[in-house]
Amino acid sequence: MDISLNGHEARTLGVLVEKAFTTPDQYPLSLNALTNGCNQKSNRAPVTDYSEAEVTVALTGLRHKHLAGASLGAGSRVERWRHNALEGLKVGERALAVLAELLLRGPQAPGELRTRCNRMRSVPSQEDLAQVLAELEGLGMVERIRGGRADRWGQTLCPESGPAAGQLRARRPPCRAWTPRRRVGKAARGAKVPLRRVWTWARQRICWRGQA
């Protein structure tokens, strides 16, 4: 699949697809409603705090990729946005619902993925979900993540939040924690003062602050 999304575009597209399925009476979405949908706390991982300006930039990117478009409703001056993902990605509604759920919440195990997708489009059984995932995998839009208690599935349209990004974070060593001893050690080397004297001074400062 040649389409690649950044994090803002992925969240924005996921919200457009979700709202088209779950609240069709309020769809297409105004910029304000779309921004609120991106930042809502339920059914989102991670929770974001996008501004309308950031969502506007994401919409511009999606429009260039033929995945979103805008229109003015009859008698309205408010521009409303809709997705073109069915045509742009060439998938069916059930597959699009699965893909949107992965865009909104990241990699998931099949059981939880099926449960969450059912609020958008019915996925009657795990066999049906497996068929959809196989279709999306064949199109290069999802990838199986092996390991842990159970395999999970993640989308590959957005490299920033896809399986590869998660594996990279998992391999990255943790940062060394700051400790007073490390800081004192640096001070002693820089000032050429005996470490014991500097450490005594540091403890006195800590005790003084605790009594203040």
What's the average pLDDT block by block, 10 residues per block, for the chain (212 residues)?
92 98 96 98 97 98 97 83 98 98 97 97 97 98 91 94 52 40 44 54 52 48
147: region left, alpha or beta (phi > 0 left; psi from -120 to 50 alpha): left
- State the Cα–Cα distance between residues 98 and 62, nearest whole angstrom: 19
Indicate if the alpha-carbon torsion angle 74, 38, 55, 83 is positive or negative: negative
pLDDT at residue number 202: 55
The pTM for the full model equals: 0.77
Provide the CA 207 distance to its chain's centre, in angstroms.
44
Q: What is the pLDDT of residue 60?
A: 98
Q: CA 120, CA 128: separation in Å to the nearest integer?
A: 15
Tell me how far the alpha carbon of residue 198 is from its chain's centroid. 46
How far, in Å, CA of 21 to CA of 15, rounded?
Answer: 10
Which residues touch 14 (CB under 8 Å, ≥6 apart)? Answer: 100, 101, 103, 104
Q: What tokens appear for 178 in the block? A: 């700051």
